[in-house]
Amino acid sequence: MKYLLSIFCLLLLIAACKPSQPTEVLVIPSLHGAHEINENYTYGDLMKIVKAFSPDVIGVEIRPIDMEMNSDTLDLYYPIEMIMVRDSFPGKVTGIDFYSEASKKVPVSREIFTDTTTDLGKLKNLVKAMQMDSLMIKKDEGAGIPKIQEEQKRIALTYSAEEFLKGEYDSLTRKQYRLEDSIYKNTPYEAYSRFNNNRDLQITKNALELVRKNPSKKVLIIVGANHRNRLVDSLKTKKPTEVKLIQDLSFMTAD
C-alpha cells in the first residue's frame, strides 16, 4: 500500500512539474466591407479560417458593453464579420474593441457619434475639418500618405488571408501612423492621431488580457487590418514558452 501511495505521489509530482504548453495565438485581419469585393478573401474564407483553427476563445472588434445587443442593432455600427463570428460561436467570443474612456460604458448609438458635445462627436467634426484643410492635405501628400493608403487599398482588394499574414499591410499601417503622428503634432488635428493611438493601444491591451486569462489554450483575435500591427508587435515580445504566435495558415491543410 505504501508503495502504491509513493508511486501515486510521484506521478502527481511529475504532472505538476510538466511544463505547460504555450498559448497559441492567431491574429486575423478583417477587411470590413472589402470582404464583399476581394474574391481572394471573402466572408466565407474568414469563417473557414475560424472553424479550421478551432479556437477555445475568440476576441472580436466589438466593445464589451455592446456584446449582448441584437444583431440588427450591431449591424448599424460594427463590421458584419464581427457579428457573424459572435453569433456563430456562442460562449467563445469576447469583445475587445474600444472607442474612448468617456464612452466605454455608454452603449453604442447614433447619438454618441452625432452629439457634438461628446468626444466622438467632436472627433467626427475634427475629421471633417481636416479633410477640408488644404494645408494639411498638402502636408499629407508631401509625406506620401495618400500613396500608402492607395497601396493599402490595393492589398485589401486583392490579397488572401495568407498573404495578409506576411505583414506587408502591417508595415504600411505602421509607417502611416508614424507619419500622421509627426504631421499632426502641435496642430488642431493632433487629437485625431491621439485617438487612433489610444484606441489601438486599448484594443491591444484588451487582446493581451484575453491571452493572459487563457493560458495553454488556442486564442483567435479578429481585428480590422489597421489594428493588427501593434497587437502582433506586442505578441512577438512574449516568451516563446508563454505565447506561440501563429503566422501562417498551414493548419488549414493539416490532417
* pLDDT, average across residues 14-35: 82
Beta bridge partners of 244: 24
Residue pointed to by grid coordinates 488572401 = 160
CA distances (Å), origin 74, targets 54, 80, 81, 84, 203 = 25, 8, 11, 11, 18
Residue pointed to by grid coordinates 470590413 = 32
Q: What average pLDDT does the chain have?
A: 92
Q: What is the pLDDT of residues 193-205, one digit of tens each?
A: 999 999 999 999 9
Beta bridge partners of 222: 28, 60
* pLDDT, average across residues 3-23: 58
**Looking at 2-6, 32-36, 86-90, 126-130, which range is the least confident one?**
2-6
CA distances (Å), origin 119, targets 3, 49, 76, 102, 126 = 70, 36, 20, 7, 10
- Of the two residues 13 and 196, the one the predictor is more confident about is 196
Q: What is the pLDDT of residues 136-156, one digit of tens each?
A: 999 999 999 999 999 999 999
Q: Residue 130: which domain range? A: 20-252
Tell me whether residue 30 is in a domain.
yes
> For residues 201-222, b (16+ Cβ closer than 10 Å) or e, as one string?
ebbbebbbebbeebeeebbbbb
Tell me whether residue 8 is in a domain.
no
Task: Tell me how far apart the alpha carbons of residues 148 and 172 are, in angstroms, rounded to a whole number.
Answer: 6
Residue pointed to by grid coordinates 500613396 = 147
Nearest to 249 by CA among 56, 22, 27: 27
User: Confidence class of residue 118 from pLDDT cuts 50, 70 and 90?
Assistant: confident
Give me the number of domains the chain comprises: 1
Nearest to 221 by CA among 25, 69, 6: 25
Tell me whether residue 152 is in a domain.
yes
Tell me whether residue 9 is in a domain.
no
Task: Provide the grid cell at 83.
Answer: 457579428
Q: What is the pLDDT of residues 180-226, one digit of tens each?
A: 999 999 999 999 999 999 999 999 999 999 999 999 999 999 999 99
Task: Tell me how far apart the alpha carbons of residues 60 and 53 are, in angstroms, rounded to a whole number.
Answer: 15
Amino acid at 225: A
Q: Which helix (H) or strand (E) holds 157?
A: helix 145-158
User: Confidence class of residue 14 from pLDDT cuts 50, 70 and 90?
Assistant: very low
pLDDT at res. 119: 85
Q: Is the pLDDT of residue 4 over 90?
A: no
Residue 251 backbone dihedrals phi, psi, to 5 degrees: -65, -15
pLDDT at res. 16: 45
Tell me whether residue 10 is in a domain.
no
Q: What is the pLDDT of residues 66-84, one digit of tens each?
A: 999 999 999 999 999 999 9
Task: Provide the grid cell at 216.
Answer: 495553454
Tell me whether residue 2 is in a domain.
no
Q: What is the pLDDT of residues 89-112, one digit of tens each?
A: 999 999 999 999 999 999 999 998
CA 191 centroid distance within chain: 22
3-state secondary structure of 84: helix
Tell me whether residue 98 is in a domain.
yes
Tell me whether residue 5 is in a domain.
no
